[in-house]
């Protein structure tokens, strides 16, 4: 199959190239041409997923496609941006039709949810790796940066943590692949970028980040960027009953605070906004979890004996 034929067959479906009036020229020329909505700022991010590093070599191609797009989109969700377009740079050892069909389906199913258009890419031969660049937009000044947290702000997370770390264990250990642990596996293989939070959080968030490296690591990025610290309430960190039943309380807690790949959002709001946020989230049937407070003292308090070398034990407040 020629490169051109491969692109036409697998990446030019109506789903991947939906009718969007802002795409003046999509796949097929040297560049895509896009009209950015008037008065908006373009928001851009790129992520590469490498076989054997970011996903198992023999993973289902559907999941590889879904995940590669999801992790990139999650960065847009973390900035409060509206997703719109993306490009795909694919490096493949060989152009196997069945693999490409399923890969393209995984990407399409997620892309369709948000009506985003694939506007271009690159296809090369080599070790399997998938790079997705996403573009979206925000009103000027409305993006949620890492640098906006202030002492007194409340720290929230958008869902149970450690799910994907647990899911990776399930993927790597087939004896754990039981019906009761499928939700963990899904969290790892098919993360959901949290655009569903956008309307509730819009205009209320002071700082935000998506949890890709692990809750503490990512919270630390916000603290450093904002020049603040945090006090956490470990008893409030959301952990699912499946994670606890599979790994026990302590290990589940360790996974929740340090496991990566969850793609939940961690965000900060002023305490004055708490009530309106919670009312709004309730109306949208969203569950949000307050897990601590921003302070002026650098560092994270509330967890004892945690350092980058690993986990010892935690001083629980309740």
Q: Which residues are annotated as a binding site?
A: 30, 45, 47, 54, 75, 121-122, 146, 210, 212-213, 261, 311
For the CB of residue 133, give the shortest distance to Mg ion in the complex, in Å. 13
What minimum distance in Å lies between the beta carbon of 73 and Mg ion? 23
Query: What residues from 7 to 46 belong to the interface with ligand ADP (CB under 6 A)?
Result: 7, 11, 27-30
3 near Mg ion (CB under 5 A)? no
Paired residues of 41 in beta bridges = 138
Residue 78's binding partner, choosing from Mg ion, ligand ADP, none, with beta-carbon cut-off 5 to 8 A by kind?
Answer: none
Write the binding mask 86 to 125 for Mg ion: x where contact by CB under 5 A, - elsewhere: ------------------------------------x---
Residue 123 touching ligand ADP (CB under 6 A): yes
> Can residue 103 be called a binding residue for ligand ADP (CB under 6 A)?
no
118 binds, among Mg ion, ligand ADP, none (CB under 5 to 8 A by kind): ligand ADP
Contact between residue 215 and residue 237 where contact means Cβ atoms under 8 Å apart: yes
| Of 8, 187, 220, nearest in space to 95 by CA | 8
Choose which of 122, 177, 282, 312 interacts with ligand ADP (CB under 6 A). 122
Interface with ligand ADP: number of residues (CB under 6 A):
13
Where in 142-171 is the site for ligand ADP (CB under 6 A)? none
Closer CB to ligand ADP, 69 or 230, in the complex: 69
Q: Which does 48 bind (CB under 5 to 8 A by kind): Mg ion, ligand ADP, none?
A: none
Q: Which residue has the tokens 């997703």?
A: 83
Contact pick of 34, 71, 73, 88 for ligand ADP (by CB under 6 A): 88
Name the site residues for Mg ion (rule: CB under 5 A): 122
């Amino acid at each position: 199959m020629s490169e051109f034929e491969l692109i036409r067959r697998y990446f030019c479906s109506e789903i991947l190239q939906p009718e969007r009036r802002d795409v003046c020229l999509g796949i097929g020329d040297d560049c895509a041409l896009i009209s950015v909505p008037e008065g908006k700022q373009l928001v851009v991010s790129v992520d590469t997923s490498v076989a054997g590093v970011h996903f198992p070599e023999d993973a289902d191609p559907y999941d590889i496609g879904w995940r590669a797009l999801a992790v990139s989109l999650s960065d847009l969700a973390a900035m409060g941006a509206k997703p719109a377009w993306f490009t795909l740079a694919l490096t493949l050892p060989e152009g196997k039709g069945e693999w490409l069909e399923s890969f393209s389906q995984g990407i399409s199913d997620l892309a369709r949810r948000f009506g985003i258009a694939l506007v271009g890419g690159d296809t090369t031969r080599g070790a399997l790796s998938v790079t997705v660049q996403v573009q979206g937009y925000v009103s000027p000044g409305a993006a949620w940066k890492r640098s906006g947290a202030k002492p007194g702000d409340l720290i929230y997370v958008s869902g149970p943590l450690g799910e994907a770390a647990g899911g990776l264990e399930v993927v790597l250990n087939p004896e754990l692949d039981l019906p009761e642990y499928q939700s963990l596996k899904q969290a790892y293989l098919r993360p959901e970028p949290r655009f569903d939070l956008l309307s509730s959080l819009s205009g209320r968030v002071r700082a935000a980040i998506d949890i890709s490296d692990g809750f503490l690591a990512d919270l630390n990025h916000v603290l450093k960027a904002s020049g603040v610290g945090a006090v956490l309430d470990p008893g409030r960190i959301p952990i699912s009953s499946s994670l606890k039943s599979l790994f026990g309380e302590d290990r589940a807690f360790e996974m929740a605070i340090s496991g990566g790949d969850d793609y939940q959002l961690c965000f900060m709001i002023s305490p004055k906004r708490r009530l309106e946020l919670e009312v709004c989230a309730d109306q949208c049937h969203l569950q949000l979890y307050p897990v601590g407070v921003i302070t002026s003292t650098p560092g994270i308090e509330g967890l004892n004996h945690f350092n980058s070398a690993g986990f010892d034990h935690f001083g629980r407040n309740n």
